[in-house]
Structure 1
């Protein structure tokens, strides 16, 4: 997480999904008491309409104004910064993440912004961004717990800390979910109890640090992506890390993070592992 006072950055592309992301970011920035920084990037390379440089800038200004109106509607007191930059959205947002508290994106867009998360090449933003990346798919709930996938310790420690921080900020509970899946394992009850004991032990320092956050420890036998999606149906937010034991992170994200980001219904925060 960036230093206190860093803005919440929103990738703006003119889509309804990006406007929803701007509204969510406005409420988050209000809770953090920081500005919202609306960023639109443009490039004439490969543009189907072959618009001129001036036309691209004009379209960008219109999109930023629409996003600014959405922010002011959701959080009238929040300071808004509008940024129009030329370049690949992937490069621009990665640079913006260096000075941001969060980067917020819509899940569907008119340009490549949302594909930075949803597409195969674009997953690099979440794994290399210097702050958490939040993908907003719908208005979401203003109730329910923050759900975090605890998958491989200490790789997911940053994601768990972020989840505790958000739950405290929301005044919500936290549901920590761990899954295990080994069809041939002997003594499944013993494995289950050991997994639960480890989960409680790993989270206990943060639970003491955030005593105001009620914590539910959930251990289930099953596939992690499917389980998290089920718990996320009525969650305020889903939080996942970029690395874990259930799938090879490779150069991009782990399999669990990919499944949740692409299919989650509530806002999904992807938090870069501290050692990645």
Structure 2
């Protein structure tokens, strides 16, 4: 018996899943990682789509930029260039060579899930959506890069347009993003599996099956295969779908079928 065989049985033959109790625990953990990867796929696709939207929106904004250059700690634009604010689905962009706006203004512009970006007179600013995630991961949701530090010295409109036209996300960045998404998905699935196992263990005790808690956990993990696949498919169409109840309830139903061939204890004599 191996995980691949149990995977096939979890799709077509529920009554053989009771054999999962014989699986080594480390293989069960690897299978949980596999299920977590399935659940992480639609979230990863959504993140990559957002990144592509930001790139496309950035190209639209770059096409509207007048000629400019960052030199001597200042944003220097051509004489007839005027400041403007341009909004897309993912970006609210500010170009302000006259010094009329500040970081707080760019932050106030950022609503919903849009990222605020601004080439101001003395600095480049970034304002992330105020969701709490940026604060916990990065320590803030507002960032300033003063031109006086020389980091952006020499940047001009042509350099920016060429960089956006040629921009692509390296494979290793995509892999890091996937792993970053996989971790919370794995933790959430572990919690759901524990809930399933508690119900499964209670059922096995009532029905007098000779199963330990660990046995129920192993069987429940493979019982969760089809619910996890179905939940992942639903997430492709509805990213906000809450799959916890579906996974727990469906896995328990499959667990009941999985024990059909499991031996029961003799009931105690009255």
TM-score category by the smaller chain?
Answer: under 0.3
Higher RCO, 1 or 2 (CA under 8 Å, sep at least 6)?
A: 2
Structure with more helix by fraction: 2
Name the TM-score, length of structure 1 as normaliser.
0.24
Name the TM-score, length of structure 2 as normaliser.
0.25
Structure with more strand by fraction: 1
State which structure, 1 or 2, has the greater radius of gyration over its C-alpha atoms. Answer: 2
